[in-house]
Amino acid sequence: MFTDSHCHLSFPELRAQLPDILDAMSQAQVDRALCICTTLEEFEDVYSLARDHDHLWSTVGVHPDSDEVQEPMLEDLLERAARPRVVGIGETGLDYYRLGDRTVADMEWQRERFRVHIRAARQTALPLVIHTRSASDDTVAILREEGGFASDTTAGLAPAKGVFHCFTESMSVARAALDLGFFISFSGILTFRTAADLREVAAYVPLDRTLIETDSPYLAPVPYRGKTNTPAYVPWVAKQVAELKGLSVEAVAEATSRNFEQLFDHVIAAPSTQKSSSNT
C-alpha cells in the first residue's frame, strides 16, 4: 500500500533493529522502501539490504555534507549503479547550511561532486535523489546546466530526472523543480506545527508528482516526533498529504506508490509478501 521513497536503514540505530523494523513495516502496510546511500564507504551495507530483501532497493551516491570521505569519480558511480537493485543516483545535491568559517565560494568541491552525480545519472538513465539545503539557487542552476534540458552537447542522453527529497524549500523552488520534470517528496516535517508554509507547497504540488518518505532515522512525524523514525511511520506523511488535498489516505498511498514505480522504473511492482529473501 505505502512506499517509503527515502530511508537510511544502513545507519547503525536502524540496522541493529532491522528484523523489528521490517516487521513494523509489514504491520503498517509499507510494502517497499528505498535505502539511500550517503558515502561510497557505506555503499556495500546499503546494497546488501536491497540484495537480501525483495521489498528494499538501493541507490549509490555521496551526500553533499559528507566532506571527509572517498570522493566519487564518475567511474565509481557507474560501476555500482550497474548492479541489480540499484535504482537511483544519490543522495546528492548541495548543502550550505553548515558553512562554519567557509564561504559559498569555498564549496566548489560540493558543486563539482553534484555535477559528477548528474553525469552519472544521465549516463545510466537512473533518477537523481536531490538534497538541497540553503543552496536552492545553485542546486537548480547546476541541474539546468548539466541536466540536458536546453542545448546539450552530450549526444544521445536523455535529460536528467529525479526527486527533490525531504522538500523544505519555497513555492518558487517547488515550481522550478516541477518545471524541470522532477518529483517532490515530503517527509514527516510536513506534520510539524511550524510547517504551515510547507503544507501550502504540498497542497500545490500535483498528486502525480508527489512522493512520500521518512528520511529515517530522522524527522519522525507527529505523533512520534522526537523518537527514532522508521519506514513504518510513512503512513502519517500520507495522512497529512491526504488532508491537504481532500483525498483518502488510500488514494494518496496508491498514487505515491505508482509515482515511485514511474520514477524508479527499474523497480518491480510491490511484492505480495514482506518476507525477506536472500540472493547470496
The confidence score (pLDDT) of residue 154 equals 62
The confidence score (pLDDT) of residue 156 equals 83
Percentage helix, strand, coil for the chain under 3-state DSSP, each rounded to 5: 40, 15, 40
pLDDT tens track, the chain, 280 positions: 999 999 999 999 999 999 999 999 999 999 999 999 999 999 999 999 999 999 999 999 999 999 899 999 999 999 999 999 999 999 999 999 999 899 999 999 999 999 999 999 999 999 999 999 999 999 999 999 999 987 555 668 999 999 999 999 999 999 999 999 999 999 999 999 999 999 999 999 999 999 999 999 999 999 999 999 999 999 999 999 999 999 999 999 999 999 999 999 877 665 543 333 333 2
Domain 2-263 - what CATH class?
alpha beta
Q: How far apart are the first and last CA of the chain?
A: 28
Backbone angles phi, psi at 250, to 5 degrees: -60, -40
What would you report as the CA-atom Rg of the chain, rounded to the nearest whole angstrom? Answer: 18
Smallest CA-to-CA distance from 91 within 238, 224, 213, 259 is with 213
Q: What are the helix (H) ranges across 55-179?
A: 74-81, 108-124, 136-146, 171-179
The confidence score (pLDDT) of residue 266 equals 74
Cα–Cα distance between 126 and 267 in angstroms, integer?
Answer: 11
- Domain boundaries, given as residue ranges, for the chain: 2-263
54, 277 Cβ separation under 8 angstroms: yes
